[in-house]
Structure 1
Amino acid sequence: MTDAADLRRRTAELLATQPPTRRPPPPLAEGPHPWSDTDRLDFLRARFDAGLAWVHFPEGLGGLDAPRSLQAVVDAELAAAGAPDNDPGRIGIGLGMAAPTILRYGTEEQKQRFLRPLWTGEEVWCQLFSEPGAGSDLAALATRAVRDENGNWVVDGQKVWTSSAHLARWAILVARTDPAVPKHQGLTYFVCDMTDPGVEVRPLRQITGEAEFNEVFLSGVRIPDAHRLGDVGDGWRVARTTLMNERVAIGGVRTPREGGMIGVAAAAWRDRPELRTHDLHRRLLTLWVEAEVARLTGERLRQQLSSTLNSVRAGGAPTGQPGPEGSGMKLAFARLAQQISGWEVEFLGEDGLTYDDWTLRRPEGVDFTGREAGYRYLRAKGNSIEGGTSEVLLNIVAERVLGLPPEPRTDKDVAWKDLPR
């Protein structure tokens, strides 16, 4: 079993063969990267090949079959050495959603083809799930995939709220392949080449002024059957793996104590003593405690996932995938982000309303801590929608965590083609 000492040794060997010579900028920084693209990619590829990308992934796929919790050992050693990272803010969908789905359902050829360039950031991924008529109810989606005479697929439809589609080389896509069965049964999961003919990406300007999201139109897009993940008609089960990992990726990001948005709010309190009031102080302390509880709960969730993966390798029964607890983490993240950003705007008064850049931009990631208070306040409004609306997640927690009776669902056994739309 790989332990912390072994990982430190392997990391030292990587640094000896790929010595860092320049310190990279903080994530999402503007301007050229102080590493040349070649140097940086060489290092990231070598790190992946050494099994230090995802230490809990299998050997040969960026990992060493080690406990997930030991990833922090590698990350700390590399950060101390000034090694470049893979710009996770830019490739978060690939890292948090596509990769675990490919690992679980992909063929060996798919894993070998997609995981390495996904992790190094050479290929950006996006998620073609939500549709104008099927947002919260993903299983009601209408995008069709029809098999042609060669056994491949022709896809037509529209997707919406697609983060990073303007940057993406690949997309994870759910489409309807059988409209004659109930909505959850007629879906199939694909990998879509975003450069193929028939894929059109249009920007959606948000309340922040940016176009971080997009709408995507698919018109006669041809997808080879070799780019299908899972069985035909089993797309809902595959998509659930993506969604559960997405909620952990959004709500369970590892942060230090007083990190993230609560750290920004606390810094504002310390820097502006003239704005302090007793009521604002009381509310900040309450938010700080809740943020710390959420952070520690996230650590417990990661430990649980690590233990589950180890059990699977030992022949145990668990699936090794996040459960409904991730929905609770995402719920807490959205609520806290909105409350903390609202507190910050109120605390700063007129200064909290300023927002320097209202131009239409196509950002490469979301920066919650490096922008103005006004940006954070506006952008946090989307946290309770993206990655599953808070209303849907409350149902998941109620039914699958608390064991409460499910809401009546009259459409579960009705063929999709017969549902009113």
Structure 2
Amino acid sequence: MTPTIDEFVDGARRFLGTVADGRNGSAGAGPVKSRYALFSGSTDEELSAAVEYQRAAFDAGFGWITGAADRGGAGLPAAYERAFSAAEREFPIPSKGPLSVSLGMVAPTLAQFGSPEAERKWLTGLRRADVIGCQLFSEPAAGSDLAAVRTKAVPHAAGGEWTLNGQKVWTSGAHYSDIGIALTRTSDGPRHKNLTAFVVDMRAPGVEVRPLRQITGAADFNEVFLTDVTLPDWCRLGEIGEGWSVAIAMLMHERNAIGGSSSGGSGLFRMDDLAAWIADLGRHENPAVIEAFAKVYSGVTSAKAMRRRADANLKANGVPGPEMSLGKLALTANLQALGELVTVVLGPRLVADTGAPRTYAWSEFVLSVPGMRIGGGTDEIHRNTVAERVLRLPKDTPVRH
């Protein structure tokens, strides 16, 4: 018997109360962190905490709420998943950041395009965090122009297998991932019709992961080298030559996940917590602070409205649409507004470490905000997507010299 939403949320809150991370403080107070950053890397402890939480959620029936019951899912409508996400924000649970690509991008793409063998081998494991996935898309010469990837996949003459050779870069979490979804070139045919996607075993011979050290000292991104990596044909996602469709779908799933962060899915946008923090610092009556807070509040509220509309479209069509680009743009704008609020609230304490909690800890966040204009697709690419695919404006006319 399907529970009502209220019954479901009551059960979710009981579960969340048993797994909330007491080290992060009470649910109402919000976490007191030693640093706030968008690209800080995931420590082994953070990864372990995320995996442990996801497994507990899965085993309790909350790890794959819309998934089929025969695969370990709860078989409930998407409204229940949204209700659980809202309940999660009431509790100081471990960050699921280390699993964001795996759960938000790799799992839904595999479910949409994977062969029966690939689904059986990896899909349930991805949802339970027994398997972790990454995205093998960007290359040194193919960033925003993803269709220009040079990594090649060549079929064996006898059939049934492929050999991959190439290099990927800026791969988040590759150093702790078990599988990756790779976009490859499989022919010299027309652009967008010459690509095929595969699931790559990241432990297979010929796969080498090299961390990219960031200015923060962390290494969240990686280079991945594929040298004579052999894959069975059942690792292929979709049809040969239709990898661009897989890539677009995966990017839409990415923007779907990012859109949730713009509307409060990230703990950074807990408005009650921000208001309490500002009051604790005695800055709540400052006019500049009030104006900056209002900008963040209105941005997050608007993003929630856009998110509801995007979720309605997702429910109707089954896959995320181009309006998800609005979520990415909203996230960039809301993060920038939050950075401006933090700067106004803290003043010199943002750059001078006095030892006071939640002051200098924000410095890395403010410095990392501009990077989100690139992450998940550049803002310029997303504006083009909105203009052409949402507003139906004509495409730019190429300039000929």
Query: Shorter-chain TM-score category?
Result: 0.7 to 0.9
For 1:78 and 1:336, how far apart are their aligned partners in 2? 21
Instruction: Mark the CA change 1:76 to 1:280 in structure 2 (over 3 Å): closer, same or farther.
Output: closer
Equivalent of 2:69, from 59, 67, 71?
A: 59
Q: Work out the number of aligned pairs and report it.
A: 377
Aligned to 2:348: 350
User: TM-score normalised to the size of structure 2?
Assistant: 0.81
Residue 112 (1) aligns with residue 110 (2) = no
Pairwise mapping of residues 170-249 of structure 1 onto structure 2 (< 5 A)?
A: 170-178=179-187, 180-249=188-257
Q: Is residue 46 of structure 1 aligned with residue 59 of structure 2? A: yes
Q: Please identify which structure carries the higher helix content.
A: 2
- Partners of 2:164 and 2:43 lie apart in 1 by 37
Find the aligned partners of 2:5 and 2:190 in 1 and give their Cα distance: 52
Q: Separation in 2 of the partners of 1:150 and 1:395?
A: 43
Aligned residue for 1:283? Answer: 292
Matched with 2:4 is 4
1:118-197 residue pairs with structure 2 within 5 A?
Answer: 118-151=126-159, 152-178=161-187, 180-197=188-205
Label 1:175 to 1:338 Cα distance change in 2 as closer, same or farther (>3 A): same
- Does structure 2 conserve the Cα–Cα contact (< 8 Å) formed by 1:126 and 1:170? yes
Q: CA deviation at 1:6?
A: 9.7
Q: Residue in 2 aligned with 1:70?
A: 80
Corresponding residue SS for 1:161:
coil
Aligned to 1:329: 327
Contact conserved, 1:335 with 1:384, CA < 8 A, in 2? no
Structure 1: which 5+ runs fail to align? 309-317, 357-368, 412-421
Unaligned stretches of 5+ residues in structure 2: 25-30, 32-41
One-letter amino acid of the structure 1 residue matched with residue 231 of structure 2: I
Distance 1:6 1:344 in 2: 36
Superposition RMSD on alpha carbons, in Å?
Answer: 3.8
Picking from 387, 394, 397, the partner of 2:376 is 387
Deviation (angstroms), 1:299: 2.9
Q: Per-residue deviation at 1:211? A: 1.2
Conserved? CA contact 2:19–2:93, under 8 Å: no
* Superimposed CA distance per residue, residues 189-234 of structure 1 (whole angstroms, 9 cap, x where no aligned partner): 1001111122111121224332111111111111221111101111
- SS in structure 2 opposite 1:273? coil
Distance 1:174 1:282 in 2: 45
SS at match of 2:140: coil
Inter-CA distance 341–139: structure 2 relative to 1 (3 Å threshold): same
Distance 1:397 1:66, change over 3 A: same
Change (3 A) 1:194 1:86: farther
CA 1:238 to 1:274, structure 2 compared with 1: closer, same or farther past 3 Å?
A: closer
SS class of match (2:174):
coil
Give the distance between the partners of 1:271 and 1:138, measured in 2 at CA. 47
8 A Cα contact 1:185 1:234, kept in partner: yes
How far off is 1:93 after superposition? 0.7
How far the C-alpha of 1:116 sits from its partner, in A, is 1.6
SS of the residue 1:175 aligns to = strand
TM-score by length of 1: 0.77
State the shift of 1:184 in Å.
0.7
* 1:354 to 1:175, Cα distance in 2 relative to 1, 3 A: farther
Q: Would the alpha carbon gap of residues 32 and 252 (structure 1) be closer, same or farther in structure 2, given more than 3 Å must change?
A: closer
| Number of the residue aligned with 2:104 | 96
Give, in whole Å, the separation in 2 of the partners of 1:144 and 1:241.
21
Greater CA drift, 272-281 or 251-260: 251-260
**1:347 Cα deviation from its structure 2 partner:** 2.8
- Cα distance between partner residues in 2 of 1:4 and 1:140: 49
Of 268, 273, 278 in structure 1, the residue corresponding to residue 282 of structure 2 is: 273
Give CA deviations for 1:227-285 in whole Å, capped at 9, x if unaligned: 11101111000111100010110122386699633636544422222596423322321
| Kept after mapping to 2: 8 A contact 1:199/1:218 | yes
Q: Provide the residue aligned with 1:299 in structure 2.
A: 308
Q: In structure 2, what residue type is equivalent to 1:46?
A: D
Cα distance, 1:97–1:409 mapped onto 2, change above 3 Å: farther
Do the aligned partners of 1:124 and 1:169 also contact (CA within 8 Å) in 2? yes
Post-superposition shift, 1:401?
0.6
